């Protein structure tokens, strides 16, 4: 809206009052709110941008006192000229393209954030389930004989063989 107002003035239009800019900002916000909520394509955004630019042009001209508008730029109650038309078309094309790119980037970001959150929760879910299960402390059973066994008793069960395996033996 401010870019449109600045380009409108640069193209030869009169400087608007602050109240006109406030009304323009409120109307653009209402229109943006009406289109919000789901992804729109480039065609819808360009159509909305052209409609907004046309409406802003009419509002800027209507919101300017008649004595501040030069008589040579008035034609049928509207300021005319190729420069004015061109800047509003450029503003509509740029804002429509910019909105579409921003919408695509936001959708990609939200898809990636959802994917990462899902992967993180998939790893976290089993750990959360463990926390929800009732906790029963497990105690190790006491050995039947708590006296220490000598080392020779532990080694008595081992079998020692020296040499190659019997299957490869020559004997």
pLDDT single digits (tens) 96-146: 899 889 888 888 999 999 999 888 888 888 887 877 877 777 777 766 666
Share of the chain above pLDDT 70, in %: 73
Segment 45-69 mean pLDDT? 81
Is the model's pLDDT at 79 over the cut of 50? Answer: yes
Q: How confident is the model at residue 76 (pLDDT cuts 50, 70, 90)?
A: very low
Q: Say if residues 73 and 81 touch (Cβ distance below 8 Å).
A: yes
Q: Is 164 a member of any domain?
A: no
As a whole number of angstroms, the distance between CA 76 and CA 72 comes to 12
Residue 54 is part of which domain span?
A: 2-107
Helix (H, G, I), strand (E, B) or coil at 14: coil
User: What DSSP character marks residue 61?
Assistant: H
Higher pLDDT, 78 or 49: 49
Segment 67-92 mean pLDDT? 67
Domain count, the chain: 1
Q: Is 28 a member of any domain?
A: yes
Q: Is 47 a member of any domain?
A: yes
As a whole number of angstroms, the distance between CA 107 and CA 105 comes to 5
Q: Is 127 a member of any domain?
A: no
User: What DSSP character marks residue 162?
Assistant: -
As a whole number of angstroms, the distance between CA 60 and CA 14 comes to 8
Task: Say what the pTM is.
Answer: 0.56
Higher pLDDT, 6 or 71: 6
Q: Is 19 a member of any domain?
A: yes
Please report the pLDDT score of residue 64 as a whole number: 72
Q: Is 45 a member of any domain?
A: yes
Q: How confident is the model at residue 26 (pLDDT cuts 50, 70, 90)?
A: very high
Q: Is 39 a member of any domain?
A: yes
Average pLDDT, the chain: 78
Please report the pLDDT score of residue 121 as a whole number: 84
Segment 148-153 mean pLDDT? 62
Is the model's pLDDT at 58 over the cut of 50? Answer: yes
Q: Is 161 a member of any domain?
A: no
């Amino acid at each position: 809206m401010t870019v449109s107002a600045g380009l409108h003035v640069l193209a030869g239009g009169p400087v608007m009052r602050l109240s006109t800019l406030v009304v323009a900002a409120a109307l653009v916000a209402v229109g943006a709110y009406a289109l919000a909520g789901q992804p729109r394509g480039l065609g819808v955004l360009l159509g909305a941008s052209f409609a907004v630019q046309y409406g802003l042009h009419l509002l800027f001209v209507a919101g300017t006192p008649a004595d501040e508008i030069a008589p040579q730029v008035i034609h049928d109650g509207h300021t005319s000229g190729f420069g004015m038309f061109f800047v509003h078309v450029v503003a509509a094309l740029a804002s429509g393209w910019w909105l579409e790119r921003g919408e695509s980037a936001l959708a990609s970001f939200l898809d990636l954030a959802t994917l990462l959150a899902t992967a993180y929760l998939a790893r976290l879910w089993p750990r959360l389930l463990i926390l929800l299960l009732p906790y029963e402390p497990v105690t190790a059973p006491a050995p039947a004989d708590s006296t220490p066994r000598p080392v020779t008793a532990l080694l008595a069960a081992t079998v020692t063989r020296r040499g190659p395996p019997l299957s490869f033996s020559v004997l």
